[in-house]
Structure 1
């Protein structure tokens, strides 16, 4: 920005304007073109004031409009002293950054904190996520934004599955003010579970987490954008929105869900637990990853052509417990699962389906803000299984799942047991979106303390199921009156598959097939959001 030497005092009032800053500047390419620039807490307004009849006016930073990034360069020439000019430019830059934070939407009843300035950020990029363009999207859109916002960062390129998990599990987190993911949702799943595996997990999980969409589904990124009360956005526009929120640095609470598998393994989830149609589409569409987000539509059409029905039992603790007379409680038609009964696949280890290309070198590539490669000490091994809940001598006791009995015990009497053994899908989700274009729970929030349980029973026709997912793009599926769709707000749930074949996914990653249960832990983590 170069300011005209004859421009008025930046802090003055002009034409009734009384804002944060005001100034008149010249164009960097044409000193004869002048602009007035005014900055308030809600907008940055630039207006051409030359003698030309074209009096272009631009208004940025206002709410309720699609996010976009536009560069406008001005000259600052108050005096000949370059240091004075530099201080004037820095004053404007700091004011714009501060005003952008003040302007960010906030929800009533939510206490936000701000990232420290400068915010030392580790950004983990999976170059194979989505269509394999995550690194290019970062360098093409986000890198300049972070530089302009004075956000120092280190870019870490992941090279194999669980690379991010082992890295954050062993990292010195005192060096970082935030951990940011540039990938799909699977990489954040690794990061959260790596943090929860640490001896100091209580402090580690408080590290603010950010999300930059670089995958196929980008469910959390779409949810964060939705929570910011901004108009819907997709693709690069969604990436810019999340980039703006990272630069603003507002931090809010994030619920996590503790998930127990039949093999006594425990993991932590931020997005969803799925069985049946949704899980099948997610995993079977991996072969279409090269086409991007449309892979899910292709997977949906393929799975609809051979629609499956899954047998199992479902039980849940309603969010609002309403006492029911014993004769009104729906009873299961089969006895509860016990460890003495034949387990479907309980002997199988927990395994995660790789979301990257075949494993490469174990050497980690770490790229600084200038994209120069540095080395990081190699970790000793790749973690494939979550640890069970332990109480080691040096580790703080893991969070207690007070709502969950052991998987070999019946659920408590205040739970609802579904008398329905034929399902098309069961989906427990804790965010508003299941993908960029799937607005699954319009009323969900990142910190509402709820598991939003949806399930579809057998008997639904293929056209009706397709209409249900098409309506989900608009968030209208819950009001479509489908008799096979059930929606409940719950605090905990248990799923016991009876069908011999099937897949269960947690945050889009395949886990051990068999009995599974989960409980929400409100506001356990922290999320960079708008």
Structure 2
């Protein structure tokens, strides 16, 4: 048994939070037919709670007794994880609450967190995700605090405006389609080719794409039993035609017509899109992609290899690692999506808090290998 459970507690006590309405609405069935038999076989003990309203998971996490559960299992999409993390932030002892590991079971539309933890092959495999619940080890992850109109919330996955927010929030009525709704939204965006104006200030920590991949290799090679991706690459990094203003106190400010800004932690945001291929769990930095205006043909070509992170090398996409950034809309209408949740479309400030929250992981890293490739012309 010690060999089968190296370094982890045997027969965990779990709090299982099920969102019956997440994604295609199959969470209860998945639990009863696939998850529960496995955790029973592993002799885990557990308590099951079904969420009954928006914000219920937040309330559960804000009131969770400390030192009672070995992990929280979220059978849902990424939205429930967002609620759990923000519930920890409202706990009477938030720093201790953040140490409780969360283990997701994929039952939503995108399931980006499961894909990052388990990889593209097993990221939607219920049995693999349940095995992570039973045998995964605690892995610290960065969080971003989002300050907007004096109110603070926390983001564990992504923030986006422009096209990527429109295709997410604009297709909520199509959740029954699963991840295919995002493709529908993107195709609609190609037809409209709408651009947006923002003032963006970034505290840049890294901007050289080749150097960022080398940093990824060093990170993955430091994790036991993991083989890093190959190192061959001769590409150079080109910046898109954005209008830069002055630098001040380590911040760079620029504005210009863009298709979208997408920032976040974790390579995958859905199985069809590796948006942040050089992201690592706890480097203290958020990855930011700013896509300049490109033709419809270039937008269509960007679908090729998107699930492998090919767009990382696109010349028209500015890819940065930052410790903080600010975004101010310079127009009235638009969408702001944070971890897939709708937020008011107005100015916000984002700052990274290194290793603040905890997930369960079988490998201690994001299970994504981003292999270097040639730059893609816009």
Q: In structure 2, the residue corresponding to 1:232 is in which secondary structure?
A: helix
Q: Decide which of 295, 299, 322 is 2:185's aligned counterpart.
A: 299
Equivalent residue, structure 2, for 1:160: 53
Question: Once the 2 structures are TM-superposed, how far is the Cα of residue 152 of structure 1 from its aligned partner?
Answer: 1.0
Could you tell me whether the CA contact under 8 Å between 1:101 and 1:249 is conserved in 2? no
Instruction: Specify whether residues 100 and 448 from structure 1 end up closer, same or farther in structure 2 by C-alpha distance, changes over 3 A only.
Output: farther
Could you tell me whether the CA contact under 8 Å between 1:192 and 1:268 is conserved in 2? yes
Equivalent residue, structure 2, for 1:101: 5
Q: Partners of 2:3 and 2:338 in 1: how far apart?
A: 39
Matched, 1:431 2:324: no
TM-score by length of 2: 0.82
Equivalent residue, structure 2, for 1:311: 197
Gaps of 5+ in 2: 209-242, 363-378
Structure number having the greater strand percentage: 2
Greater relative CO (CA pairs within 8 A, separation 6+): 2
Q: Partners of 1:466 and 1:243 in 2: how far apart?
A: 37
Equivalent residue, structure 1, for 2:86: 193
Question: Once the 2 structures are TM-superposed, how far is the Cα of residue 320 of structure 1 from its aligned partner?
Answer: 4.5
Q: What pairs with 1:112-511 in structure 2 (closer than 5 Å)? A: 114=8, 116-226=9-119, 232-233=121-122, 235=124, 237=125, 239-261=126-148, 263-320=149-206, 331-332=244-245, 412-418=248-254, 420-458=255-293, 460-479=294-313, 482-511=314-343
| Deviations, residues 429-477 of structure 1 (Å, cap 9, x unaligned) | 111111123112222222222200001112x012212322342212221
Q: Partners of 1:451 and 1:312 in 2: how far apart?
A: 19
| Deviations, residues 378-429 of structure 1 (Å, cap 9, x unaligned) | xxxxxxxxxxxxxxxxxxxxxxxxxxxxxxxxx84211112x3211100011
Could you tell me whether the CA contact under 8 Å between 1:253 and 1:523 is conserved in 2? yes
Question: Once the 2 structures are TM-superposed, how far is the Cα of residue 483 of structure 1 from its aligned partner?
Answer: 3.0
Instruction: Specify whether residues 139 and 463 from structure 1 end up closer, same or farther in structure 2 by C-alpha distance, changes over 3 A only.
Output: farther
Could you tell me whether the CA contact under 8 Å between 1:125 and 1:157 is conserved in 2? yes
Larger radius of gyration: 1
Q: Partners of 2:306 and 2:107 in 1: how far apart?
A: 22
Aligned residues: 328
Q: Partners of 1:321 and 1:292 in 2: how far apart?
A: 34
Could you tell me whether the CA contact under 8 Å between 2:202 and 2:322 is conserved in 1? yes
Gaps of 5+ in 1: 1-94, 103-112, 323-329, 334-410
Q: In structure 2, the residue corresponding to 1:278 is in which secondary structure?
A: helix
Question: Once the 2 structures are TM-superposed, how far is the Cα of residue 183 of structure 1 from its aligned partner?
Answer: 0.3
Could you tell me whether the CA contact under 8 Å between 1:101 and 1:250 is conserved in 2? no
| Deviations, residues 13-43 of structure 1 (Å, cap 9, x unaligned) | xxxxxxxxxxxxxxxxxxxxxxxxxxxxxxx
